Structure 1
């Protein structure tokens, strides 16, 4: 058990920077608990159950979807926050929102949509999540969006760390191509301070994302037969765990050995994050939650050795799973579906309901953004249904 910091670095919901639209206080829930509940009851959140993580749903009923991935990220983010004395509700709210902007068919759909939007500032799934929670969800009588707190919006936007330097120049993944579309919209109740890090709770949600998908992508790859435990013996980070499980449980079925490997991988990486983060926080000498934003570095994460091994595991998975012929065959079909749908709507094929109405009253790149919002919000089954309706074809995933 990691001792909690001597000072509370948890974000205080009573001191939130607020919401874009004023609301009455709740007598039973904190502001961050209200955020969590708003997300869980949203349409975008429910749609995650029918959006691909890595393996398409038709390939098997036990593979992760965006929804089950999101729930695993939420659980891990809460565990890390609890051990470090942070605000679990904020960490959970950020975790639950982090993938709301993802397209159908996982990253394949995202790449296709980005190509379609190249002439209109592209597509970014983090920014799309912001659009979902500030514009696209329309559950409330008085405003668009879910009207989440500043802290949750910040956590979504800075999922990968600061977006600019103090002078406003893009950094990191945004250095080459610039900041994503919509970043300067009025999307929160105050300046989002793009040059600072997010809250410690949002950092916990971000590292939880990495922990979750490393573990469950290995698990799903084993289920799919793309990997075996033998393949993993020499794999970075997980190889030593496979060896110790086989040594301790040589006679149990392989399926149980695999579950034990995944369980230990999750436990080991979480414990490393907690221990490393507690030491970094103490070393930084910060005394308030807001000081963590200005610490100049990410405080929640792996130690140097674990970070390198985790990076190597990602490279292993990229080569052996994400670029496996069986996966790539489905990826190519998925990208074609998304691109053809987009081109079809751009060419005048009607979109239903408010999307068709928005299309008719806009033009130029704004009209393309309407199509992008519509396509990004699709579930896999709905995208397939629309594809069949428009082209009288049923895609063949092989």
Structure 2
């Protein structure tokens, strides 16, 4: 059970509410209710078959979007409790933050963004919001999950100005406004952004070594990791292999968590925001200290050079991009090939707003696919098998 919230935490009793008014739940707060709706959604279940770095067919033990989201939620809740932020809101945002991600990770997102270049592009954060606002079909009175403002605000981590202006025109004062006013999201949302970074840096080291694309000797170049590897060996000189890797990562994660707690506590003490809205008007208040921020950036640069741009990863993701691009072209040419009501939706949107409307429906359909479904669909429509 969480203790007393800080005055700058989001209080579910003071939520800005839902787009469609509902009677409060008798036993759950608004944010607990959001979390439960997310966990029971179709989009959440699909995350188990969506890529993090390694494609779904490449191995059973690599992270997926689902396991990543769970790790973000765990880290976020741990930090939130120490900062007296709302743990349930942090958990809800963490579990939903990747619901709009395409199959094949960032490769799929980049390919779909290119396909949608003439019709507003594709942003996975905005797609996550579309998923919970429009695309889930679970309730009789409205589309989407009808989540609270605070959860939806946290889901929309990034947003282009053009899309923010469109969101504001459609629903004034809603989640697009802060991108126009250049204010911050809630502290809980800021925390989720950081927990996301901490989680993927750590588990990409683990998956990189598991895959054989990284070796421990390379990681000795990364001070943030190597400091804890050396500390581990001082206490356990005979430790080697996966146990050494796991213990080094565990210590690195703990150090990052404690650094965030200390640095954020100091920033909050200086700013002294008296409410959640006051915190939104401050500069970002949840973050690393200067030294840890630089160390984290060094780790990210190392992973970019040695893992994400590794020739084997680039080769596979190149084929994944081709799958997405060719699926998009096939569905644009023959929308009737889409299942689950998307063909009918594409016809209606084409009649209403032309090719842009149809293209958005195609993007929605592809973005909702798992890795393996996208690969099967591509093979069905093109006769080619680009991925295992």
TM-score by length of 1: 0.91
State the shift of 1:180 in Å.
6.2
Aligned to 1:301: 287
d(CA) in 1 for partners of 2:5 and 2:170? Answer: 37
| 1:374 corresponding residue in structure 2 | 365
Shift of 1:286: 1.2
**Residue 361 of structure 1, CA deviation:** 1.9
**1:190-246, Cα deviation, whole Å (9 max, x unpaired):** 465312101111111110000000000001001011112111112141121222223
CA distance in 1, matches of 2:76, 2:61: 23
1-side partners of 2:175 and 2:343: how far apart? 33
Alignment partner, residue 91 of structure 2: 92
1:193 and 2:172 equivalent? no
Task: Quote the residue 1:22 is aligned against.
Answer: 21
C-alpha contact 1:116 1:342 (8 A) present in aligned 2? yes
Mark the CA change 1:271 to 1:238 in structure 2 (over 3 Å): closer, same or farther.
same
Q: Distance in 2 between matches of 1:396 and 1:7?
A: 50
Match of 1:346 among 328, 332, 340: 332
- 1:47 aligned residue: 46
Match of 1:353, SS state, is coil
Equivalent position of 1:74 in the other structure: 73
Would you say the 8 A contact 1:355–1:374 is kept in 2? yes
| Aligned residue among 200, 221, 243 for 1:213 | 200
CA RMSD of aligned residues (A): 1.9
The aligned residue for residue 183 of structure 1 is: 167
* CA-CA distance at 1:265 after TM superposition: 1.1
The residue aligned with 2:311 is 325
Unaligned runs of 5+ in 1: 164-173
Distance 1:9 1:52 in 2: 36
Of stretches 387-396 and 276-285 in structure 1, the one that deviates more from structure 2 is 387-396
Q: Give the Cα separation in 2 of the matches to 1:185 and 1:112.
A: 28
Q: How many residues align?
A: 378
- Equivalent in 229, 234, 244 of residue 216 of structure 2: 229
Higher helix share: 2
Shift in Å, 1:362: 2.3
Secondary structure of 2:13's counterpart equals: helix
188 and 151 in structure 1: CA distance in 2 versus 1, 3 angstrom threshold: farther
Alignment partner of 2:301 out of 296, 311, 315: 315
Q: Any gaps of 5 or more consecutive residues in structure 2?
A: none
Task: Identify the residue that residue 132 of structure 1 maps to in structure 2.
Answer: 131
1:311–1:206 CA distance, 2 compared to 1 (3 A): same
Partner of 1:383: 374
Tell me what 1:9 maps to.
8
Residues 164-210 of structure 1, C-alpha deviation per residue, up to 9 Å, x if partnerless?
A: xxxxxxxxxx47xx446953464698465312101111111110000
Shift in CA distance, 77/115, structure 1 to aligned 2, threshold 3 Å: same
Task: Give the conservation status (yes or no) of the 8 Å contact 1:94–1:202.
Answer: yes
Structure 1 window deviating more from structure 2 (236-245 vs 134-143): it is 236-245
Q: Write out per-residue CA displacement over residues 303-328 of structure 1, whole angstroms, 9 at most, x where no aligned residue.
A: 11111111111011000000001111
Counterparts of 2:29 and 2:106, CA distance in 1 = 34
Q: CA deviation at 1:385?
A: 1.2
